[in-house]
Structure 1
Amino acid sequence: MKSWEGVGEAYAASYASLCAGTHDDLVRRLGPAHGRRLLDVGSGTGALAAQLADVGWSVTGCEPEPTMRAVAAREHPLLAVIDGALPVLPFAGAQFDAVTANFVLNHVPDPRAAAREITRVVQPSGVMIATIWVVSPSWFWQGVAERAGLAAPAGTGLPPDKDFERTSAGFGRMLSEGGWHAVDVSELGWTWWATADELWRSAEGGVASAGALYLSLDASERARYARAFDRLCEEHSLDGRVALDHRAAVAVGTAR
């Protein structure tokens, strides 16, 4: 699995705006807040948690990476963000009325154990919403690597007994096996109009598989990678931005 160590600032300057593509949809699916308690697991730089607080939820964020928490503290100083990670959360059972996990369960080492832990901290019949990527920007970075004559980032994956099919149906089955009830999965698609600077900040800052590949290169390989990146951006840019289509599986379930 990909390491997110030390990438808070680079993520905030790049992929944070991509992952925000689901935020409005998650807020809508949760319904009226009425001051109820919500846990945002893997809250990252705090953007979703802050948006949920703005519409009336009593929000706690939970994020294990200190550089992510540092960005959250700077950008959202009133937001409570706790150090903690799935599959063992630092909260009592049935402590929250709802839980969100936006692009989190596609990164954990044991997705089913993580799903079960989410059900533990939710009130009976509490709402749980999670997302994973169905279509991600991996094709773009694979193209960069190929043009640079480098091995495309492949990721390390999970052992077969821990992994799940990265489709909407596979995501729903995994969550049901992890104890979620009445799981309903739909797909949400959008276009991320990214600037070349946003994309490059993600690679140079070590974000995701492409960033891990870039940081592993020597100086001459990095120069080739940068030239290939510039060429691909030029080919796919419109008015200075690169159009990247994305699709997420959005799952809604209850704890019991």
Structure 2
Amino acid sequence: MTAFDESERRAWAAQADAYAGSFAKLCAYPVPRLLDAAGIEAGMRVLDVGTGTGTAAAAAGERGANVSAVDAEPSMTAVAVQNAPAASVHLAALPHLPFADDEFDAVVGNFVLNHVGRTRAALEESRRVTRPGGRIAVTIWAVPAAAGQTLLGRAVQAAGVGRPAHLPALDADDDFPRNEQGLAALLEEAGLKDVVCETLRWDHRTTPEEWWSGPAAGVATIGQTVRSQTPEVVEAIKGHFGSLCAEFADRDGVLVLPHAALMGHGRA
């Protein structure tokens, strides 16, 4: 396990409920497109890697697929069992999956590559458990980020806060350009054929209270950054956040946050 992986485990420990109440609805947006890209149909054997609270697993089950799902965080698998009761949910982390070679017709991973230290190995493992000709489809956040995605980071920067030293970055050898070309190259390096990548754009609607609840609870890297500050600095970040929200608020005070993600898919 890399230092990045260890940091991710700590960041997400016992965070399923806080994630469900903050960022989960945002991350659910690409799921229908992701399942379409993987060709999910009734009767298919499907694996959802990094299932989180089980959104993609539940959606695949609604299409009649036979679904297995894994996540590295016990609180996530506990919620996924409730949200996707027809799925077989396991505690496991990329790049080590507890399945046989060629076991699945399709594998999907919604934003999981943002949270693994060995991205190429993760995709190679996903290919290992996918039958020849089966499809793999993944999403990641795009760089540069869309305006709505940078809101919280801008508030942190405005308070003079940088990335804490205890949060390691991804090793350079495991990183890749977070654009269509970079994701396509990563999928091809993992042995996938007929690779296609595209950018998904959407406006996420939320409230300032809901959007702040994620970092306030320590969810993800942004949350770990906020929670590692003194109470005074946290209040300063929250104040800047409140001011910046005005850029995105509609007449009812609802935030309309533009986001962009990359979706890539190919055949094993």
* Range class of TM-score, shorter chain: over 0.9
- Residue matched to 1:57: 65
- Residue matched to 1:173: 185
- Residue matched to 1:189: 201
- Residue matched to 2:152: 141
Query: Of residues 101, 113, 118 in structure 2, which corresponds to 1:93?
Result: 101
1:138–1:212 CA distance, 2 compared to 1 (3 A): farther
Contact 2:249 2:255 in 1 (8 A): yes
1:138–1:192 CA distance, 2 compared to 1 (3 A): closer
Once residues 72 and 169 of structure 1 are traced to their aligned partners in structure 2, the CA distance between those partners, rounded to angstroms, is 32
SS of equivalent residue, structure 2 residue 246: helix
- Residue matched to 1:222: 234
Structure 2: gaps (5+ residues): none
* Offset, 1:77: 3.2
Over aligned residue pairs, what C-alpha RMSD do you find? 1.8
* Offset, 1:78: 3.4
Q: Does residue 44 of structure 2 align to residue 36 of structure 1?
A: yes
Query: Of residues 111, 117, 127 in structure 1, which corresponds to 2:125?
Result: 117
Q: Bigger shift: 144-153 or 105-114?
A: 144-153
Once residues 30 and 150 of structure 1 are traced to their aligned partners in structure 2, the CA distance between those partners, rounded to angstroms, is 40
SS of equivalent residue, structure 1 residue 176: helix
Contact 1:98 1:128 in 2 (8 A): yes
TM-score, length basis structure 1: 0.93
SS of equivalent residue, structure 1 residue 210: helix
Contact 1:44 1:63 in 2 (8 A): yes
Structure 1: gaps (5+ residues): none
Q: Does residue 249 of structure 2 align to residue 249 of structure 1?
A: no
Once residues 205 and 229 of structure 1 are traced to their aligned partners in structure 2, the CA distance between those partners, rounded to angstroms, is 15
* Offset, 1:153: 7.2
Once residues 53 and 118 of structure 1 are traced to their aligned partners in structure 2, the CA distance between those partners, rounded to angstroms, is 19
TM-score, length basis structure 2: 0.89
**1:143-162 matched pairs, under 5 angstroms:** 143-151=154-162, 156-162=168-174
Count of aligned positions: 255
Once residues 208 and 114 of structure 1 are traced to their aligned partners in structure 2, the CA distance between those partners, rounded to angstroms, is 20
Contact 1:92 1:121 in 2 (8 A): yes
Which amino acid is the alignment partner of residue 182 of structure 1?
Answer: D
Query: Of residues 9, 22, 28 in structure 2, which corresponds to 1:14?
Result: 22
Once residues 164 and 205 of structure 2 are traced to their aligned partners in structure 1, the CA distance between those partners, rounded to angstroms, is 22
Which amino acid is the alignment partner of residue 143 of structure 1?
Answer: R
Once residues 26 and 100 of structure 1 are traced to their aligned partners in structure 2, the CA distance between those partners, rounded to angstroms, is 7
* Offset, 1:162: 1.5
Overall identity of the aligned pairs, in %: 38
* Offset, 1:119: 0.6
Which amino acid is the alignment partner of residue 184 of structure 1?
Answer: V
Once residues 32 and 41 of structure 1 are traced to their aligned partners in structure 2, the CA distance between those partners, rounded to angstroms, is 15
Which amino acid is the alignment partner of residue 168 of structure 1?
Answer: E
* Offset, 1:203: 0.6
1:237–1:10 CA distance, 2 compared to 1 (3 A): same
CA deviation digits over 1:185-230, x for unaligned, max 9?
1111111112112211211121222101111011111221222222
Once residues 234 and 54 of structure 2 are traced to their aligned partners in structure 1, the CA distance between those partners, rounded to angstroms, is 31
* Offset, 1:74: 3.1
Once residues 156 and 163 of structure 2 are traced to their aligned partners in structure 1, the CA distance between those partners, rounded to angstroms, is 5
* Offset, 1:76: 3.2
- Residue matched to 1:108: 116
